[in-house]
Amino acid sequence: AQKITQTQPGMFVQEKEAVTLDCTYDTSDQSYGLFWYKQPSSGEMIFLIYQGSYDEQNATEGRYSLNFQKARKSANLVISASQLGDSAMYFCAMRVTGGGNKLTFGTGTQLKVEL
């Protein structure tokens, strides 16, 4: 079975600063994918970034980057130049090859961006 752990229930960051949201995972599968989603108060889960277990480079998408450390089984999300609109819940999720196409989610981190 696979597991995602997000140990930061809440985080604060000042506007224009960078913030790192932590995610560790546990799986015995060698082939897997890691995702980050953003969930505003409206409820919709918005896809941010993806990292495959065999990808050698860390994924980047605009202001989002994924700090992937395979040996430590961590997949931290880094948001650069935070904006007020970044305030939301952030979920880390995993999909493993042997698990079909289902996603396993962590419990999330509530991020608040302050002026």
Partner 1 sequence: DAGVTQSPTHLIKTRGQQVTLRCSPKSGHDTVSWYQQALGQGPQFIFQYYEEEERQRGNFPDRFSGHQFPNYSSELNVNALLLGDSALYLCASSLANWGDTQYFGPGTRLTVL
Query: Using CB under 8 A as the criterion, which residues of the chain lie in contact with partner 1 when the complex forms?
Result: 4, 33, 35, 37, 42-47, 50, 52, 91, 93, 95, 97, 100-108
Per-position b or e across 67-98, b if 16+ CB within 10 A of its CB: ebeeeeebbbbbbeebeeebbbbbbbbbbbee
Beta carbon nearer to partner 1, 18 or 92: 92
Beta carbon nearer to partner 1, 20 or 110: 110
Beta carbon nearer to partner 1, 43 or 85: 43
Minimum gap (Å) between residue 14 Cβ and partner 1: 26
CA distances from 54 to 15, 30, 32, 57 (A): 34, 9, 8, 9
Minimum gap (Å) between residue 20 Cβ and partner 1: 19
